[in-house]
Amino acid sequence: MTLGESAALPERAAPVRATEAPVVVLVGNPNVGKTSVYNQLTGERAHIGNYPGITVEQRSGRLELGGRGPATLLDLPGTYSLSARSAEEQIALDALLGHAGLPLPALCVVVVDAGQLSRNLYLVLQLLELELPIVVALNMLDEVAHNPPSPADLSRFLGVPVVATDGRRGAGIEELKRVIAERLGKPASSGVAVSYPEALVADADRVVSALPAAWRSTPGRDRALALWALASVEPGDELRDVPAELRERCESVRHAAGARDLDRELIAARYACIDGALERLYARVERHPPKRASSERVDRILLHPILGFAIFLGSMLVVFQALFSWSDPAIKVIERLVAWTGTELTALLPAGVLRDLLVEGVIGGVGNVIVFLPQILLLSLLIGLLEDSGYMARVAFLMDRVLRTLGLHGRAFVPMLSGFACAVPAIMATRTMERQRDRLLTMLVIPLMTCSARLPVYTLIIATLFPPSRVFGWVPLQGLMMVGMYVFAIVTTLVVALVLGRTAVKGRRVPLVLELPPYRLPSLRLTLRNMVERAFVFLKEAGTVILACTIVLWALLAFPRPATAVAPPRPASVAAVHATSAEQHLAAPPVHPTAPEPARAESRIGESYGGRLGKAVEPLFAPLGFDWKIDVGIIGAFAAREVFISTLGLVYGVGDTDDQALPLREKLRQETLGGKPRYTPLVGLSLLLFFALSCQCMSTLAMVRRETRSWRWPAFLFAYMTALAYLVSLLVYQGGRLFGFG
């Protein structure tokens, strides 16, 4: 399973639903305020989807154009150039050229940062060469107010309409809409011609005849496509849909060029054209704009070797604290609400399978979903602020040295840190990385972090099976075990990241070229809007999977139903409320209104399909030191890791329980096998390692499925983590026994 393979997925559903409305695409470099222009143009209506099979998100919305009728506005991934290298650039290219089943755009709106004209115009030139109909939105003029480029001059140079816009405040948006409506359906225009070296033009003309028939149109566009192919196609690239003939032609032309550097000729010619124009456009060229200068002053503090790191650690502490503690009150309210609804419904409805399904399956499942909302909302808010202010790029700058030794991107830091609170929002946070390969790799290691749902399980196992003795006479063993689990998680994450980065997600080596945009005041309105959008996407796409899984788990532990429907025990899945911390878990109210009758429950859960499954897999897990009761607990824990405890509680007939409950601890300690305790510290260690490494969390898998839009990556994640957990637990348990422990 390599990245190249995943990029070449055959399923390529057209992301834009077939409508008669013309398609307007929004393109631009990263960090030019494209998203705010998009939001201003579409108002509050936005549809967030994904390009199938890859982690590139696709937004589209309705663009009302007054008398002209509506158009579909498609927001393309930010890109510096069209020489496609990453999945994002390829998507931008496909959408612009109408390849890969995407509709040909009726118009391209290019958002240009007025403070970065030369680099931004590079993309504009490429679009113009491809004879695409273009309107330029000249954005962020407020940052160069002292020496603004004139839209009229720029328009004269490019030969296309240029509208001054302010994406944050909405200025110029109506004018932009008017121009879009006016230009829709009109043929492309261009006033600029890059003068390429003659030899390069001859090379391009030799490539033209190898272009697929479907790509051919006018001579100018054909030549532009040939130049694109010459600059982009190379052995081992990740481009899709490039016919073999075109590949071979590009290779032979490049080979014939000998020592000439075609890339340099092409790129230098474009920049020469831009530089010449800008010199004419500007009365004076300044050293750098004041916005830059003030950013530099801020950077002197934020990137300072000592002060900068202190601020960095402080802000990361805030992010972590927000996820770990500040979301607590909201989570508690949600848990209470779910428990209350369950109780009310139980009282209201007659006993029976329908009531159980509603209360335990549906209400419990909805609870399992919405319990993530506080952390998702908080993390999207914080990431939005970090991103929009420009600080996220500095985090990557500061941490690159550390993370790159693991093959991870500097921007992976915040998502990985979030993984210590909960993997679900953390996986969502991987969007902050530009490259699909970086996102995938980060997503695949985040579930190894010690998330808060593991804490109650660790607490129970350590407190029950390890003696409260002290190491070296003063270090408490139980505390040491807990710290050890964190260290273990960090070390495994590093090792797994190294291994996976060289195997499963082995993308091409792409050198880090990180842009450090000027610091900007984030727009709270846009950030809040993005936060709400994220929450909806989660509810709609991951939520349905989580709900379905909860119902399946409920059924697994509730069926077959006993002949007498007297006080049926509530299976564990309903208790799948998410604990943020051990303390909080303690405080959570009992979800089960009535505790089942102990003896009855024990026999019943053993008879359920889940119980039978636990017994059936007992031989498989016996080498790890687990018996069927633990196996049932592990099955229940798939709803959420801490459900392990309440499932065990049901197995042992102690009713609803938590990690601090003494009856369950006693029962576990009393369990014997051949006169000796059944659960030894060695079994405990094996179980701890199993929980540390296995992906016992359906919500994590649902989130990875949502972010990658395919089942193959969650399947891979589950498979590799379970295999790793099994292997490590097996080695530890069997090795321990060999040395006479347990």
Q: Which residues contact 52 (CB under 8 A, 6 or more apart)?
A: 9, 11, 12, 13, 15, 709, 710
Q: Is residue 514 near other proteins by the rule CB under 8 A? A: yes
Only one residue has tokens 């600059």, namely 231
| Identity of the residue, 491 or 512, whose beta carbon is nearer to other proteins in the bound complex | 512
3-state secondary structure of 8: coil
Please provide residue 641's backbone torsions phi and psi, each rounded to the nearest 5 degrees. Answer: -60, -40
3-state secondary structure of 623: helix
The amino acid occupying position 662 is L
| Identity of the residue, 514 or 723, whose beta carbon is nearer to other proteins in the bound complex | 514
Q: Which of 14, 354, 495, 512 is in the footprint of other proteins by CB under 8 A?
A: 512
Q: Please name the helix (run of DSSP H) or strand (run of DSSP E) that holds residue 62, with its range, or none.
A: strand 57-63
- Given the rule CB under 8 A, which of 63-71, 80-88, 173-181, 591-599 is the region that contacts other proteins? 80-88
The amino acid occupying position 512 is L
Q: Are 204 and 256 within 8 A, CB to CB? A: no
**472's tokens:** 């070296």
Q: Which residues contact 258 (CB under 8 A, 6 or more apart)?
A: none
CA 259 to chain centre: 43
Q: Is residue 231 near other proteins by the rule CB under 8 A? A: yes
Q: Which of 305, 350, 674, 675 is in the footprint of other proteins by CB under 8 A?
A: 305
Q: Please name the helix (run of DSSP H) or strand (run of DSSP E) that holds residue 73, with its range, or none.
A: strand 71-75
Q: Is residue 106 near other proteins by the rule CB under 8 A? A: no
Cis? peptide before 560, omega within 30° of 0 = yes
Could you give the string, one character per residue 136-155, with x where binding to other proteins holds by CB under 8 A and - elsewhere?
--------x--xxx------
| Identity of the residue, 291 or 629, whose beta carbon is nearer to other proteins in the bound complex | 291
| Identity of the residue, 291 or 585, whose beta carbon is nearer to other proteins in the bound complex | 291
Q: In angstroms, rounded to a whole number, what is the distance separating the alpha carbons of residues 251 and 249?
A: 5
Burial (0-12, 13-18, 19+ Cβ within 10 Å), 428? buried
3-state secondary structure of 137: strand
Query: What are 315's strand-pairing partners?
Result: none
Q: Are 552 and 571 within 8 A, CB to CB? A: no
Could you give the string, one character per residue 32-71, with x where binding to other proteins holds by CB under 8 A and - elsewhere?
----------------------------------------
Q: Which of 17, 169, 508, 669 is in the footprint of other proteins by CB under 8 A?
A: 508
Within positions 177 to 206, which residues make up the interface with other proteins, using CB under 8 A? none
| Identity of the residue, 119 or 712, whose beta carbon is nearer to other proteins in the bound complex | 119
Burial (0-12, 13-18, 19+ Cβ within 10 Å), 579? buried
CB of 131 to other proteins, least distance (A): 21
- Given the rule CB under 8 A, which of 179-187, 333-341, 474-482, 510-518 is the region that contacts other proteins? 510-518
CB of 147 to other proteins, least distance (A): 5
CB of 511 to other proteins, least distance (A): 4
Which of 703, 332, 417 shows the shortest CA–CA distance to 535?
Answer: 703
CB of 527 to other proteins, least distance (A): 23
Q: Which of 263, 533, 597, 618 is in the footprint of other proteins by CB under 8 A?
A: 263
Q: Is residue 510 near other proteins by the rule CB under 8 A? A: yes
CB of 26 to other proteins, least distance (A): 20
- Given the rule CB under 8 A, which of 100-108, 284-292, 523-531, 583-591 is the region that contacts other proteins? 284-292
**515's tokens:** 């842009």
**370's tokens:** 């919405």
- Given the rule CB under 8 A, which of 270-278, 362-370, 379-387, 492-500 is the region that contacts other proteins? 270-278
CB of 40 to other proteins, least distance (A): 24
Measuring CA to CA, how many Å separate 219 from each of 94, 211, 222, 223, 262? 20, 12, 5, 6, 21
**508's tokens:** 């091409």
Q: In angstroms, rounded to a whole number, what is the distance separating the alpha carbons of residues 677 and 297?
A: 66
Q: Is residue 267 near other proteins by the rule CB under 8 A? A: yes
- Given the rule CB under 8 A, which of 485-493, 506-514, 527-535, 574-582 is the region that contacts other proteins? 506-514
Q: Is residue 98 near other proteins by the rule CB under 8 A? A: no
Q: Which of 78, 115, 610, 684 is in the footprint of other proteins by CB under 8 A?
A: 115
Measuring CA to CA, how many Å separate 558 from each of 448, 552, 609, 627, 663? 31, 10, 8, 21, 23
Q: Which of 60, 116, 464, 584 is in the footprint of other proteins by CB under 8 A?
A: 116
**226's tokens:** 């040939």
CB of 399 to other proteins, least distance (A): 8
Binding-residue total with other proteins (CB under 8 A): 65
Q: Which of 286, 344, 583, 666 is in the footprint of other proteins by CB under 8 A?
A: 286
Q: Is residue 506 near other proteins by the rule CB under 8 A? A: no
Q: Which of 185, 216, 309, 499 is in the footprint of other proteins by CB under 8 A?
A: 309
Within positions 380 to 419, which residues make up the interface with other proteins, using CB under 8 A? 393, 396-398, 400-402, 404
Q: In angstroms, rounded to a whole number, what is the distance separating the alpha carbons of residues 521 and 531?
A: 17
- Given the rule CB under 8 A, which of 75-83, 193-201, 378-386, 658-666 is the region that contacts other proteins? 75-83
Only one residue has tokens 């018996």, namely 627
* Torsional sign, CA 616, 620, 621, 623: positive
Q: Which of 45, 304, 470, 502 is in the footprint of other proteins by CB under 8 A?
A: 304
CB of 122 to other proteins, least distance (A): 7
Residues within the interface to other proteins (CB under 8 A): 80-81, 83, 85, 114-119, 122, 144, 147-149, 231, 234, 263-264, 267-268, 271, 274-276, 278-279, 281-289, 292, 295-296, 299, 303-306, 308-309, 393, 396-398, 400-402, 404, 508-518
